[in-house]
């Protein structure tokens, strides 16, 4: 009896399905199998690996220059300027790997982003370490090394100040410390790049599910971590928008001494958005979150909302211009930065809850026990 | 014995996965149930000791050793742990708690057990019918309510959230490619509903029992493969065996005693009154509550899946795709200075995910933030929350009134007036 009851219900179900198929618009019923493996291949070969290669090239170049510097008693303006340019490029290139801070980038002593790009620099501790010639890095003071340390060492003051600091016996410890910092960055990058060009690439592509620990979930989570890092630490923190802050803190920006914080924030934003679009800096395309959303129910709506919000953020960046640093703007006219922050805040829900919901991606890292 | 095995596996799995640390000792705040705020995490090593005792009692149930003490200990430990933090609430944990309670009442140690080996006079071959029936009834309630919860236009007509979940499974071996078939969500939605509503009856009727059990196995293996639901499929596949009679038990027992041995044996029954009055009363109250609790949502206004007032403890299993982004602002009551909270500084990813879509947890977190920032020197902080929630793929809406100072809204079992309609 129960079997026939079930069968009758199933037939009824099929009728309903048929009716729905005939009445609903195509957007609502479409389900194309999205090729997640192709997406992961695209991300690995067109975005992640080329970005790490570019980072390696720049990190090696800084490391080489810093190593040569050790032997030079009195550096020339040209030498310091070359190093400055190389460091500036390295910090720029670093923005494009922040979204791939998983897998091989997760070291036992912290991730690549944590170890290399923590800011602001702790100048007092850094000077202490230089004074005692401690280049062991056997501490958790990440704010005494990495990119922000290089920014401090080479961009604080005029070129003449920097040359003077690095010259002679008095500058020896500084030169040695610089070499250690630059080589550590290159070494950490090498570990990540080697893994990607070695076995990790295939592992990454093979884990094509959507559950916790799958590559799509890792990529999604890191896109959000990267975006929140930008919004909360690169914009809200200097702006004094974080709970517990009693005033704005314009010095707590990335690359404070270079005064490029606003430009770096823009590049960081573009890197995140490019991953969502599936675009390389050169303009090539690969399947990514946007094309994935194209294939799921209600995906087009979310794409429109997301793109409209991205445009508003671009406009907010444009309004702020390119000449001044974030520190300068926040000091002189903090309200000018407010729209950038509030527009960024609005994109979070599209990137985070709405996208994970439509794609059925697991947000948490460990698998749960379900519902 | 099966229940003992499953709960033992669950305990060991939980410990090995490192979840004690992740869920109970590391977070700086928990979300207790209202009125049960005294149920707190015991920290480290307290939680480890508690899990140790619980695992030992699970083994006790498995082996039928010091059965009553084991069963009561397991029930108390398990329920205590589940009550520490409601973000970890799962329907099947609730089921395990209820089943553990029922196992405290039944003599499930009177045949193949250490207790019988210690004290052979305990041995019986027959138990009173009610001891089996209460487990069947409990399982029946779970399935039936899970089934009627699926009778909604979202589930049956829109096939939501299955239309989101199934295509996400297209990498499964063999059946993966089928998951992208556009009509499959409707078939799964209807089949799932019909299965849940009818399976307790089909299992109860001898002629359909075997077929129904095959359906149980297929259904739970499928859902186990497709969704991250841990040990739940195992629990249900094991527990539904209770619908079978003793012939199965004897088959499972295998070679130690053959069927013919059994037929020669005179039935050993439990002596004494079959239904002590107190036990009778406890069971009646228990099942009346079980039948009524899932309906309490009718006392609240608004859409149940949106407000979740009266949602838990109702066998609403894998019913919606819901996700939120919650941004809290604290404002100094004197200086008026506002600041945005970094939720992850207080909560782990799982807690944040659950909190960001459930109003009662939003409120608890707001209260926690009030206390935290007041202690840091803020004057009577005002705590507001902008909580954008998406339900079943629809565009996000604000879940709570973003202008309401939640620090002043009390926790209550009455309907919250600051929850916004979708």
Q: What is the pLDDT of residue B341?
A: 96
Total domain count, chain B? 3
Radius of gyration for chain A, computed over Cα atoms and rounded to the nearest angstrom: 24
- How near does any CA of chain A get to the CA of B185, in Å? 9
User: Nearest Cβ partner of A357 from B91, B164, B376?
Assistant: B164
Q: What are phi and psi of B132, to 5 degrees?
A: -85, -40
pLDDT tens string, chain A, 371 residues long: the values are: 333 344 444 444 433 433 333 334 334 444 457 899 999 999 999 999 999 999 999 999 999 999 999 999 999 999 999 999 999 999 999 999 999 999 999 998 899 999 999 999 999 999 999 999 999 998 889 999 999 999 999 999 999 999 999 999 999 999 999 999 999 999 999 999 999 999 999 999 999 988 888 999 999 999 999 999 999 999 999 999 999 898 999 999 999 999 999 999 999 999 999 999 999 988 899 999 999 999 998 999 999 999 999 999 999 999 998 888 999 999 999 999 999 999 999 999 999 999 999 998 876 544 444 55
Residues B208 and B299 in one domain: yes
Q: What is the pLDDT of residue A371?
A: 57
Residues B327 and B403 in one domain: yes
Residues B6 and B118 in one domain: yes
Q: Would the pLDDT of B90 be above 50?
A: yes
Q: Is residue A54 within 8 Å of A193, Cβ to Cβ?
A: no
Nearest residue of chain B to residue A236 (CA atoms): B340
B314 inside domain:
no
The mean per-residue pLDDT over the stretch B116-126 comes to 88
B269 inside domain:
yes
The mean per-residue pLDDT over the stretch B332-341 comes to 94
Nearest residue of chain B to residue A24 (CA atoms): B158
Q: What are phi and psi of B27, to 5 degrees?
A: -60, 145
Residues B290 and B197 in one domain: yes
Q: Is residue B13 within 8 Å of B231, Cβ to Cβ?
A: yes
pLDDT digits (tens, 9 = 90+) for B213-261: 999 999 999 888 888 777 888 889 999 999 987 666 666 555 444 444 4
B316 inside domain:
no
User: Nearest Cβ partner of B90 from A34, A245, A369?
Assistant: A369
ipTM: 0.86
Residues B397 and B386 in one domain: yes
Contacts of B183 in chain A (CB under 8 A): 17, 21
pLDDT digits (tens, 9 = 90+) for B358-395: 999 999 999 999 999 999 999 999 999 999 999 999 99
Q: Would the pLDDT of B275 be above 70?
A: no
B186 inside domain:
yes
Distance CA B179, CA A32 (A): 10
Q: What is the pLDDT of residue A6?
A: 42
**Second CATH level (architecture) for the domain A35-206:** Up-down Bundle (1.20)
Quick check: A371 and B319 CB within 8 A? Answer: yes
Q: Output the six-digit token pair for B157.
A: 């007509």
Confidence (pTM): 0.90
Candidates A15, A297, A25, A31; CA nearest to B187 is: A15
Residue finishing a domain among B255, B277, B308 = B308
For residue B406, what is the DSSP state? G
- How near does any CA of chain B get to the CA of A284, in Å? 27
Nearest residue of chain A to residue B165 (CA atoms): A360
Q: Across the A/B interface, how many CB contacts are shorter than 8 Å?
A: 183
Residues B182 and B244 in one domain: yes
Q: What is the pLDDT of residue A224?
A: 95
Domain ranges of chain A: 35-206, 209-363
Residues B70 and B214 in one domain: no
B415 inside domain:
no
- How near does any CA of chain A get to the CA of B118, in Å? 37
Helix, strand, or coil here: B390? strand
Which range marks the domain in which residue B185 is found? 125-308
Q: Is residue A254 within 8 Å of A237, Cβ to Cβ?
A: no
B351 inside domain:
yes
- Segment among A211-220, B125-134, B154-163, B267-276 with least mean pLDDT: B267-276
Contacts of A356 in chain B (CB under 8 A): 323
Contacts of B168 in chain A (CB under 8 A): 210, 359-361
Residues B189 and B96 in one domain: no
Distance CA B146, CA B216 (A): 14
Distance CA B421, CA B224 (A): 34
Strand partners, B385: B328
Residues B131 and B105 in one domain: no
B421 inside domain:
no
Contacts of A13 in chain B (CB under 8 A): 186-187, 189-191, 194
pLDDT digits (tens, 9 = 90+) for B26-60: 999 999 999 999 999 999 899 999 999 999 999 99
B27 inside domain:
yes
Residue finishing a domain among B275, B308, B341 = B308
Residues B137 and B85 in one domain: no
Residue finishing a domain among B91, B123, B155 = B123
Distance CA A45, CA A41 (A): 6
Q: Output the six-digit token pair for A267.
A: 């590049």
Share of chain B above pLDDT 90, in %: 73
Q: What is the pLDDT of residue B50?
A: 97
Q: What is the pLDDT of residue B294?
A: 97
Distance CA A46, CA B242 (A): 56
Q: Is residue A156 within 8 Å of A148, Cβ to Cβ?
A: no
What average pLDDT does the structure give for chain B?
Answer: 91
pLDDT confidence of B410, banded at 50, 70, 90?
Answer: very high
């Amino acid at each position: 009896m129960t079997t026939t009851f079930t069968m009758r219900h199933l037939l009824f179900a099929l009728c309903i399905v048929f009716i729905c198929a005939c009445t609903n618009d195509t957007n609502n019923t479409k389900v194309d199998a999205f090729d997640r493996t192709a997406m992961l291949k695209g991300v690995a070969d067109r975005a992640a690996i080329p970005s790490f290669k570019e980072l390696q090239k720049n990190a090696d170049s800084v490391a080489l220059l810093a190593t040569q510097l050790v032997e030079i008693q009195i550096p020339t303006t040209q030498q310091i300027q070359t190093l400055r340019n190389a460091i500036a490029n390295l910090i720029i290139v670093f923005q494009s790997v922040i979204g791939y801070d998983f897998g091989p980038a997760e070291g036992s002593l912290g991730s690549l982003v944590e170890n290399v790009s923590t800011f602001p620099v702790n100048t007092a501790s850094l000077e202490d370490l230089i004074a005692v010639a401690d280049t062991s890095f056997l501490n958790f003071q990440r704010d005494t090394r990495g990119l922000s340390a290089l920014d401090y060492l080479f961009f604080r003051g005029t070129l003449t100040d920097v040359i003077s600091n690095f010259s002679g016996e008095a500058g020896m410890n500084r030169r040695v410390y610089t070499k250690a910092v630059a080589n550590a960055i290159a070494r950490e990058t090498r570990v990540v790049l080697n893994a990607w060009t070695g076995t990790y690439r295939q592992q990454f592509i093979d884990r094509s599910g959507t559950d916790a620990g799958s590559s799509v979930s890792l990529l999604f989570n890191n896109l959000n971590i990267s975006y929140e890092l930008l919004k909360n630490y690169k914009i809200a923190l200097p702006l004094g928008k974080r709970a517990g802050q009693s005033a704005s803190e314009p010095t707590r920006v990335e690359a404070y001494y270079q005064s490029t914080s606003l430009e770096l924030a823009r590049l960081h934003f573009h890197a995140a958005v490019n991953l969502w679009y599936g675009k390389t800096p050169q303009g090539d395309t690969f399947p990514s979150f946007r094309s994935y959303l194209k294939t799921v129910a209600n995906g087009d709506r979310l794409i429109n909302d997301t793109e409209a919000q991205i445009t508003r953020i671009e406009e907010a960046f444009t309004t702020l211009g390119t000449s001044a640093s974030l520190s300068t703007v926040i000091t002189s006219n903090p309200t000018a930065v407010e729209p950038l922050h509030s527009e960024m805040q609005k994109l979070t829900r599209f990137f985070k809850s709405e996208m994970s919901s439509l794609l059925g991606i697991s947000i948490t890292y460990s698998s749960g026990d379900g519902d | 014995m099966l229940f003992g095995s499953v709960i033992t596996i669950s305990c060991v799995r939980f410990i090995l996965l490192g979840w004690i640390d992740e869920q109970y000792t590391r977070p700086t705040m928990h979300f207790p149930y209202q009125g049960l705020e005294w149920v707190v995490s015991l920290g480290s090593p307290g939680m480890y000791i508690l899990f140790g005792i619980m695992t030992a009692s699970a083994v006790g149930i498995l082996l039928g050793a010091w059965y009553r003490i084991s069963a009561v200990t397991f029930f108390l430990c398990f329920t205590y742990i589940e009550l520490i933090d409601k973000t970890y609430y799962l329907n099947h944990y609730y089921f395990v708690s209820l089943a553990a309670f029922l196992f405290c009442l039944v003599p499930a140690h009177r045949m193949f057990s250490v207790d019988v080996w210690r004290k052979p006079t305990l041995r019986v071959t027959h138990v009173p019918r009610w001891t089996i029936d209460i487990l069947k009834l409990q399982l029946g309630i779970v399935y039936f309510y899970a089934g009627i919860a699926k009778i909604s236009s979202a589930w049956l007509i829109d096939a939501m959230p299955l239309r989101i979940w199934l295509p996400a499974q297209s990498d499964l071996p063999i059946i993966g490619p089928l998951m992208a078939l556009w009509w499959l969500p409707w078939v799964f939605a209807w089949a799932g509903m019909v299965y849940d509503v009818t399976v307790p009856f089909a299992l109860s009727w001898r002629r359909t029992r075997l077929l129904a059990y095959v359906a149980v196995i297929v259904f739970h293996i499928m859902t186990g493969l497709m969704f991250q639901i841990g040990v739940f499929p195992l629990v249900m596949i094991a527990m539904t065996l209770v619908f079978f009679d003793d012939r199965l038990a004897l088959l499972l027992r295998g070679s130690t005693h053959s069927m013919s041995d059994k037929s020669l044996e005179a039935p050993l029954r439990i002596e004494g009154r079959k239904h002590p009055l107190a036990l009778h009363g406890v069971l009646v109250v228990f099942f009346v509550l079980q039948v009524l609790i899932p309906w309490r949502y009718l006392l609240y206004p608004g859409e149940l899946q949106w407000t979740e007032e009266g949602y838990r403890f109702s066998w609403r299993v894998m019913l919606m795709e819901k996700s939120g982004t919650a941004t809290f602002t604290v404002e100094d009551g004197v200086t008026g200075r506002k600041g945005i909270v970094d939720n992850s500084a207080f909560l782990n990813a799982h807690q944040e995910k659950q909190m960001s879509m459930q109003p009662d947890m939003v409120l608890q977190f707001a209260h926690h933030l009030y206390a935290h920032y007041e202690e840091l020197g803020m004057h009577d902080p005002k705590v507001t929350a902008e909580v954008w929630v998406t339900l079943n793929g629809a565009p996000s809406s604000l879940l709570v009134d973003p202008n309401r100072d939640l620090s002043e809204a009390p926790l209550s079992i009455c309907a919250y007036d600051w929850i916004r309609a979708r």
